[in-house]
Chains A and B, each alone.
Chain A
Amino acid sequence: MSNHNATAAHSHGHGEKAHGTVTLYMIFAVILCVITYFEWWIFEHRESIRISQRLMVVSLLFMSLVKFVMVCGWYMHLRYDHKSLTKLFICGMFLATATYVALGVIVHPKECDALKGECFKIQEPAPAPDTSTPADAKPAEAAPTAP
């Protein structure tokens, strides 16, 4: 066994680098909080700042992605760990994304415009055909018969 001091900043195994420090984790915590606050702020003030829905979706997705990368890369130590773990996780994420896309393609109707919120509107049932035959109604003409 190695005989270095037992701190968190040590190497774990092949391909692993030293882990982060308390200061780094705290800085990341503040950044995560600020991003979450901005997400909430954009949602709450979407009408007053007149942000388009498309821009709101993109910005929220971007902020979510930043948080995702920060937690996976630093808190889950993917950045420091063996590369095979990163590959494993990326494979899982790829399969998950492919499944999600496939599900969307199969179930999503073609005319749906997700960004306009027009997905899956409940269709009003068509009025039933009037089957009553009034007494003064002319009888339907007989279909012409073939000679």
Chain B
Amino acid sequence: MLDTHHTGSAGAAHAEAPEAHGHPTNTGVDNRKFAMWTLIASECFLFATLIGNYLIHKNRGIDGPKPHEVYQIDITTLSTFDLLMSSVAMVLALYYCNARRLRLFQFWTAVVVVGGLIFLGFQYVEFSHFVLKEDLGLSRNIFASSFYLLTGCHGAHVTVGVIWMLAILTTSLIKGEKWFNSTMVEVAGLYWHFVDVVWIIIFTVVYLFVYV
């Protein structure tokens, strides 16, 4: 069944930006949303290989400190809290976007951006500690290489998410009530939640399993 109105997420009688409506689809799922889920499915594959690579190599470093000697679990737990809370802010931003409450939507989107930036700050502090205090640079040993590859790849994803959310926030600030693109916010939210889900796994498998 081809039905255009199911593809727009807001689904309300209010006038939306033209780009808020997707093309007709057989499933009724917006193409952008489907594309994002396809990307997420392939990203699962990517992060599985990176995590597997890390687990294989984490105890193979001949030179330099071992994982349990350098990890600061307290700081990593705080950054995990931060990312989880930014995920909550993201779902609230989408909620208020659907409800067409502009100020609340902008507020929670800003919270997502700040949460992402704080997480990146934590990662910067962690990497700085490793490099400056522990002398664990990227090429020090194979543990360091696989660790930086995994967490750096995740950090790059967080950076992309922050830029995306910042673009959405800026656009809504400029266009105001005229811009309520719920599908775009939902797709960006899917990406952000996926980044959070990946960190849930990394936090457990990489940090908490350090003695395993």
| A88 lies within 8 A of B45 (CB) | no
B37 CB-CB contact with A under 8 Å: yes
| B28 lies within 8 A of A14 (CB) | yes
A48 CB-CB contact with B under 8 Å: no
Tell me the complex Cα distance, A108–B58, Å: 13
Size category of the A interface is 35 or more
Tell me the complex Cα distance, A99–B52, Å: 9
- The majority secondary structure among interface residues of chain A is helix
- Chain B contributes a number of interface residues (CB within 8 A of A) equal to 70
Instruction: Name A's B-contacting residues (CB within 8 A).
Output: 1-8, 10-16, 19-20, 22, 25-26, 28-29, 32-33, 36, 39-40, 43-44, 46, 53, 57, 60-61, 63-64, 67-68, 71-72, 74-77, 81-82, 84-85, 88-89, 91-93, 95-97, 99-100, 103-104, 107-108, 114-115, 117, 119-122
Chain A to chain B: the 8 pairs with minimum beta-carbon distance, closest first: A92-B41, A6-B12, A96-B48, A13-B28, A14-B28, A13-B6, A8-B98, A96-B44
Given A85-B34, A100-B51, 11 more A-B residue pairs with CB atoms under 8 Å apart are A1-B8, A8-B94, A12-B11, A14-B29, A28-B88, A33-B81, A43-B208, A88-B38, A91-B41, A100-B52, A108-B56
